[in-house]
Amino acid sequence: MLFKQFVDDDLGCASYLVGDEHAGVAVVVDPAYAIEQYLEEAERRGIRLVGVLETHTHADHVSGHGRLTLEQGVPVRVHEAAGAAFAHEPLTDGAEVELGDVVIRTMHTPGHRPEHCAFAVIDTTRSGEPWLVLTGDSLFVGDAARPDLAVEARDGAEGLFASLHRLVELGDGVEVYPGHVAGSLCGAAMSSKASTTIGFERRFNHALLESHDEFLAAALGPQPPRPPNMERIVEINRGPFLGGQPWLQHVGDSVDAVVLDVRPARAFAGGHRPGAVNVPVSGSSFGTKAAFVLPERPVLVHAADGGEAQRAARALYAVGIFDLVGWQEAGGDEQVEPVSVDELERLLAAGETEVLDVREADERDAGFIPGSDHMPYRNVRQAAENGLCGTKPIVTICESGPRAAIAASVLRAAGIDARPVLEGGINQWRARGGELASFRRCGK
């Protein structure tokens, strides 16, 4: 059996190449928009791609199924409940795809979405029973999928509970390969580990240990933020096939677009174009963060060089941001002086600043600077556009610096005096004995 996992570290998404190396055929399961990785692996192994299997219509990243069909002539299979507008072979529960001695059996596992399927993989030279299962957005390592993106949360949770317990029936020895690892917005407590087993999850995964009522109560509680551009991405993935994008071109100065500076925060602070927003492509979850803070306007990438610009473009395409007008060398006259934790303490003592904590609510609840305001970095753009209250300069802070830097750049682009605590953040404030308050929510 041929089996290879591909993980997009930026989005926390996993995709798979599954087939029979002796027969020389394979399919791609849940392909990323960057299909080059599958083509290179297929060429290296001397195999032919004969199909795409989608576990569901993805809401957090653009699928590569359109590129594989348009550029390679590969057919797509997805469950009949997906409502796909593209040419496809509809899957039903129990349907099998034969690839030489390897059989992929469809298991309809609704919950995350009505069309969701898992794929049990059987190597018939070893056994007639599944060796592993590709669980997509149902069972994760240490967690389960969220039920609230496609249907009412209660309906999704009911379906997901049944689907998870159907997967458990595959047997403890079956290996589990999920559609997401840590870093995705499709689950709250998933591990960064790339695989697990049914038996391990049955013993330790809270979603499989809870009763029906406990599971519903947890599933209907607070969820991670909804993926940015979610409706647009679902529309793209459900609609007509989308092909590849042209190479991002270097352009001149006269471009009407929002500037996205993708250099590290320190380089941005040292000099950038006025009005630019800074999201470092070298940081974690670049595409998701950029999608949260960019307005719906054409985007001009500012980068240190062409390679950095192209890396940014690939990650932006993956989250449905296609209106890129080109790239330019980064730099400019505007500078911003980061705030140290020592300076922040002095500013607060003198009453000369307002502190904006840009972490998520659960992070802030565990400990925050007394008197600070709270707004997750992903909401700062909308708040700035609607008018942010206060007359004092703002200092943004997060756990260790990256989100504070993004938020400060967004505020400054809107004309608001803001500086970030770039290194250390709440972690350093806590380590040096700075005063922290905490907040306990009802039911916790």
- CATH value at residue 230: 3.60.15.10
Q: Is residue 108 part of a domain?
A: yes
Domain boundary among 234, 255, 282: 234
Token pair listed for 257: 């677009």
The owner of tokens 């609607």 is 386
- What pLDDT sits at residue 391? 77
Residues 6 and 119 placed together within one structural domain of the fold: yes
Residues 52 and 173 placed together within one structural domain of the fold: yes
Give me the half-sphere count of Cα atoms (radius 13 Å) on the Cβ side of residue 353.
22
Domain boundary among 212, 234, 256: 234
- What pLDDT sits at residue 191? 65
Residues 39 and 97 placed together within one structural domain of the fold: yes
Q: How many domains, in total, are found in the chain?
A: 3
Q: Could you tell me the mean pLDDT of each successive run of 10 residues in the chain, 444 residues long?
A: 95 96 98 98 98 97 98 98 97 98 98 97 96 97 91 93 97 97 56 89 96 92 85 96 96 90 97 97 95 95 98 97 97 96 94 95 93 94 79 93 96 94 92 86 48
Taking phi first (over 0 means left), then psi (-120 to 50 degrees means alpha), and beta for anything else, what does residue 35 get? alpha
Q: Is residue 63 part of a domain?
A: yes
Domain boundary among 329, 354, 374: 329
Residues 267 and 293 placed together within one structural domain of the fold: yes
Residues 87 and 207 placed together within one structural domain of the fold: yes
Residues 90 and 182 placed together within one structural domain of the fold: yes
Residues 279 and 375 placed together within one structural domain of the fold: no
Residues 209 and 289 placed together within one structural domain of the fold: no
- What pLDDT sits at residue 189? 54
- What pLDDT sits at residue 184? 47
Residues 179 and 253 placed together within one structural domain of the fold: no
Exposure string over 182-215, b if 16+ CB within 10 A, otherwise e: bbbbbbbebbeeeebbbebbbeebebbebeeeeb
- What pLDDT sits at residue 388? 67
Q: Taking each helix axis from N to C terminus, what angle separates 402-413 and 286-293, rounded to the nearest 10 degrees?
A: 30
**What H or E segment, with its residue span, contains residue 67?**
helix 65-72
- CATH value at residue 425: 3.40.250.10
Residues 303 and 195 placed together within one structural domain of the fold: no
Cα separation, 345 vs 353, whole angstroms:
10
Q: Is residue 115 part of a domain?
A: yes
**Domain assignment of residue 253, given as a range:** 245-329
* Interacting residues of 369 by C-beta distance below 8 A, sequence separation 6+: 348, 355, 357, 397, 426, 429, 434, 435, 436, 437
- What pLDDT sits at residue 227? 85
Q: Is residue 85 part of a domain?
A: yes
